[in-house]
């Protein structure tokens, strides 16, 4: 019945008949790209996988890549025959999708509907009372996500043309990338949890395929597997949450769940459990404690993949899911506090690890984990708009950072390639002083660094400040502050989260400045011969960087705070009000979270001071001149060593989770249960039994008509007695 109300609501919708009816085409465009590129990839069978198993020609962004003198000209030689078609198809579908999304966005902005516009495509499945439509939902939240995905996605696709063109698996790469965008759009456009889940699993699959893109190297294949397995743990939670929702509400589409959610009872154990299980799914997909371990390893994939999937879009799906389920989370203060606390802890924890990483992509990976933590703090405290705001700005500056690092790695790799060196193209100890060789990248990366560090007026400042301000504002007079979290008052938890957030902001400024110092400043450490070959990447790569640089600089204008009246105030906040406004108000007892101007200025002052302090500390303490290349670097000691080894979390997981499961699976489940009982007793035993009966039956089949007639007569007697004996 809820479905029907939703359907009725959409029949008279103001977007009906508008360009929003074409929403299905937005995901279909990348799907077409996938089909074309996939076909091109399969057509040349020799080019399905990495052409060279020893891994020589492919990895620009590929650790421990081997370089051979003999293959100086190898790039041209291994370029895929269809590369030129792929270069056109891959980015074009994304650009078209982006243009269509802009048109739909404009229509939505003009109509400003309060209810989402649901475009029913077809009935996907019906089973008893359970019915799922393949339907897309156009509303303020989904369109923001679509714009980010198609917009940033298009830029990254263009960048990829330059970065990946010489890879023998080029069509396969674009096929996967297009498919990823398709699934990501399904994820954000789906009008129900099951459709969202299809996208959720689909992006997981593409992530797996792209992390292991150079799968002949076992390290990469293992990284893909790790991402897949860790995500399964989260998906398990998501699935159970869906089952619980359906069992209790009888519907799984968003409008239905939002309408029926109050029936669960605010603050009840049930809604808390549902939200926590949903968050388990988010923690897997968005790399939060304790499931963050896959994301740093995921950097094994090509760098544009890291930018698109593992920074700008897929990993933010968890944040989107929480915002999408705002109606549920706003009723579960304990679960929301958990989200905020886990987010705050992750932000701090990952930032400390980022302090001591040498691989430029690993620094950015931990920074991503940390920033995702911020977003969860935002959506956790009920500031859904703030969380989404940070998601958007983060997509800009983190994509820029990753693509910039890709450009650096590309340059380093080319240089090493020319000289035949075997050095690590991603290790910052081998870089240094790159600003003179790559001035464009240098300037743009600094913009992104200032943005992520929280220096006004760059994008990150506004979004991060909004989240921290929201946490502070909710320490009093909100359902969260009044709630108990394992006996601890909610307001205490919120203060702790705020402190974590500030500490993480300090560390963010330090490790980002460190990365910039070691990469671009100081003397060059890449070697005499290599230095001559260092140069800026081609324009097809720097062009997208410039666009992202502009967005990183001015992205904050999307949602300016009241004290910074340089444009529309709180635009994104108001834009998202129809989607999550009610839920956000419920957290703050119906009143807009409010702080006095003095408090607000003080908070902003603290935030800026911390960011500046972080950058200053980094400049004062770190001396790029004292660094030595990776090969000559001494082992770190003490706590630094712990940080460099990422708190040994991977080792601990390996010891207490992976190995016991492995040995248990091997000893008990495989040898004992599977091979012994199931295979031995059930499968083979029942097979022998069935075979025995079958043998009997086959013997009875003598081929003599007389026997058959006899059996028939016996059957007649049996049927007659069945009728007469009752």
Contact between 124 and another protein by CB under 8 A: the answer reads yes
Beta bridge partners of 133: 123
Q: Of how many residues is the chain composed? A: 726
- In the DSSP assignment, the letter for residue 48 is S
To another protein, the closest distance from the beta carbon of 706 in angstroms equals 10
Annotate 175-229 with DSSP letters as a single string.
Answer: HHHHHHHHHHHHHHHBSBHHHHHHHHHHHHHHHHHHHTTTTTSHHHHHHHHHHHH
The answer for residues whose C-beta is within 8 angstroms of residue 282's C-beta and 6 or more apart is: 234, 288, 317, 318, 319, 321, 322, 339, 376
Per CB under 8 A, which of residues 659..698 are in contact with another protein? 686-687, 690-691, 693-695, 697-698
To another protein, the closest distance from the beta carbon of 683 in angstroms equals 9
Which of 126, 616, 633, 652: binder of another protein (CB under 8 A)?
126
Per CB under 8 A, which of residues 128..167 are in contact with another protein? 128
Beta bridge partners of 117: 138
With 0-12 CB in 10 A as exposed, 13-18 as middle and 19+ as buried, what is 562? Answer: exposed
Contact between 711 and another protein by CB under 8 A: the answer reads yes
Contact between 701 and another protein by CB under 8 A: the answer reads yes
To another protein, the closest distance from the beta carbon of 184 in angstroms equals 21
* 36 to 65: interface string for another protein, x by CB under 8 A: ------------------------------
Q: 648 or 695, CB closer to another protein?
A: 695
Contact between 484 and another protein by CB under 8 A: the answer reads no
Contact between 705 and another protein by CB under 8 A: the answer reads yes
Contact between 712 and another protein by CB under 8 A: the answer reads yes
Which of 1, 125, 488, 669: binder of another protein (CB under 8 A)?
125
Contact between 268 and another protein by CB under 8 A: the answer reads no
Q: 12 or 128, CB closer to another protein?
A: 128
Contact between 719 and another protein by CB under 8 A: the answer reads yes
Contact between 120 and another protein by CB under 8 A: the answer reads no
Contacting range for another protein; rule: CB under 8 A; set: 30-38, 193-201, 585-593, 701-709 = 701-709
Are the CB atoms for 25 and 19 separated by under 8 Å? no
Buried b (16+ CB within 10 A) or exposed e, 466-505: bbbbbbbbbbeebbbbebebeeeebbebbebbbebbbbbb
- In 3D space, the residue among 363, 413, 370 whose CA is nearest the CA of residue 57 turns out to be 413
Q: 609 or 714, CB closer to another protein?
A: 714
Are the CB atoms for 370 and 351 separated by under 8 Å? yes
Give CA–CA dist 337/382, Å, rounded.
9
To another protein, the closest distance from the beta carbon of 198 in angstroms equals 12
Cα torsion 109, 115, 116, 120: sign: negative
Contact between 724 and another protein by CB under 8 A: the answer reads yes
* CB count in 10 Å sphere of residue 551: 24
Contact between 703 and another protein by CB under 8 A: the answer reads yes
Helix axes 459-473, 384-419, angle to 10 degrees: 140
Contacting range for another protein; rule: CB under 8 A; set: 141-149, 334-342, 658-666, 706-714 = 706-714
Which of 54, 112, 123, 268: binder of another protein (CB under 8 A)?
123
To another protein, the closest distance from the beta carbon of 29 in angstroms equals 21
Q: 106 or 719, CB closer to another protein?
A: 719
To another protein, the closest distance from the beta carbon of 28 in angstroms equals 17
* CB count in 10 Å sphere of residue 666: 11
Binding site for another protein (CB under 8 A): 122-128, 686-687, 690-691, 693-695, 697-698, 700-701, 703, 705, 707-709, 711-712, 714-716, 718-720, 722-724, 726
């Amino acid at each position: 019945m809820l479905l029907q109300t939703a359907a009725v609501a959409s029949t008279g919708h103001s977007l009906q008949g508008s360009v929003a009816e074409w929403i299905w085409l937005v995901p279909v465009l990348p799907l077409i790209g996938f089909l074309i590129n996939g076909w091109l990839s399969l057509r040349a069978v020799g080019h399905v996988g990495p052409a060279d198993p020893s891994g020589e020609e492919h990895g620009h962004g590929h650790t421990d890549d081997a370089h051979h003198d003999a293959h100086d000209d190898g790039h041209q030689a291994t370029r895929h025959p269809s590369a030129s078609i792929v270069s056109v198809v891959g980015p074009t579908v994304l650009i078209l999708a982006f243009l269509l999304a802009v048109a739909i966005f404009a229509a939505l902005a003009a109509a400003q509907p309060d209810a989402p516009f649901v475009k029913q495509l077809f009935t996907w499945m019906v089973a008893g009372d359970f019915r799922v439509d393949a339907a897309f939902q156009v509303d303020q939240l989904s369109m923001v996500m679509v714009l980010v995905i198609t917009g940033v996605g298009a830029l990254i696709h263009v960048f990829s043309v330059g970065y990946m063109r010489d890879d023998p698996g080029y069509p396969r790469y674009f096929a996967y990338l297009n498919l990823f965008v398709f699934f990501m759009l399904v994820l954000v456009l789906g009008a129900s949890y099951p459709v969202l889940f299809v996208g959720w699993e689909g992006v997981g699959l593409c992530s797996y395929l792209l992390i292991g893109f150079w799968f002949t190297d076992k390290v990469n294949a293992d990284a893909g597997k790790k991402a897949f397995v860790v995500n399964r743990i989260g998906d398990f939670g998501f699935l159970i949450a869906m089952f619980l929702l359906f069992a209790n509400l009888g519907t799984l589409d968003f409008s239905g769940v939002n309408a029926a959610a109050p029936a669960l009872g605010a603050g009840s154990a049930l809604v808390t459990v549902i939200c926590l299980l949903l968050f388990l799914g988010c923690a897997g997909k968005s790399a939060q404690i304790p499931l963050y371990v896959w994301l740093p390893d995921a950097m094994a994939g090509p760098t544009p993949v890291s930018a698109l999937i593992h920074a700008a879009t897929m990993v933010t799906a968890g944040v989107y899911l929480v915002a999408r389920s705002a109606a549920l989370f706003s009723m579960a203060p304990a679960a929301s506090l958990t989200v905020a606390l886990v987010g705050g802890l992750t932000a701090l924890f990952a930032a400390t690890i980022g302090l001591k990483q040498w691989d430029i992509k690993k620094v950015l990976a931990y920074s991503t984990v940390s920033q995702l933590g911020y977003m969860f703090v935002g959506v956790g405290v009920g500031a859904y708009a703030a969380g989404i705001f940070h998601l958007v700005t983060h997509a800009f500056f983190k994509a820029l950072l990753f693509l910039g690092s890709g450009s650096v790695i590309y340059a380093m790799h080319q240089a090493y390639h020319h000289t035949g060196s075997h050095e690590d193209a991603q290790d910052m100890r081998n870089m240094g002083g790159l600003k003179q060789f790559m001035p464009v990248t240098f300037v743009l990366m600094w913009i992104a660094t200032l943005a992520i560090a929280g220096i006004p007026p760059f994008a990150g400042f506004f979004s991060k400040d909004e989240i921290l301000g929201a946490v502070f504002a909710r320490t009093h007079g909100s359902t969260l502050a009044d709630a108990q979290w394992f006996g601890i008052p909610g307001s205490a938890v919120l203060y702790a989260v705020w402190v974590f957030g500030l500490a993480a902001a300090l560390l963010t400024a330090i490790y980002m400045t460190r990365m910039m110092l070691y990469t671009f400043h100081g003397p060059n450490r890449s070697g005499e011969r290599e230095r001559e070959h260092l140069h800026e990447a081609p324009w097809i790569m720097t062009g997208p960087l410039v666009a992202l640089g502009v967005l990183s600089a001015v992205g904050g204008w999307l949602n300016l705070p009241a004290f910074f009246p340089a444009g529309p105030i709180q635009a994104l906040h108001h834009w998202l009000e129809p989607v999550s406004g009610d839920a956000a108000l419920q957290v703050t007892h119906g009143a807009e979270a409010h702080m006095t101007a003095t408090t607000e200025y003080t908070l902003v002052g603290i935030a800026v001071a911390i960011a500046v302090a972080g950058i200053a500390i980094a400049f004062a303490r770190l001396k790029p001149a004292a660094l030595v290349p990776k090969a000559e670097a001494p082992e770190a000691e003490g706590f630094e060593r712990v940080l460099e080894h990422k708190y040994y979390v991977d080792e601990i997981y390996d010891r207490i989770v992976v190995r016991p499961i492995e040995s248990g699976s091997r000893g008990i489940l495989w040898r004992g249960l599977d091979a012994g009982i199931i295979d031995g007793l059930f499968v083979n035993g029942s097979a022998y039994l069935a075979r025995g009966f079958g043998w009997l039956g086959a013997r009875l089949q003598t081929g003599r008509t007389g026997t058959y007639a006899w059996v028939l007569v016996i059957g007649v007697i049996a049927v007659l007695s069945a009728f007469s004996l009752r």
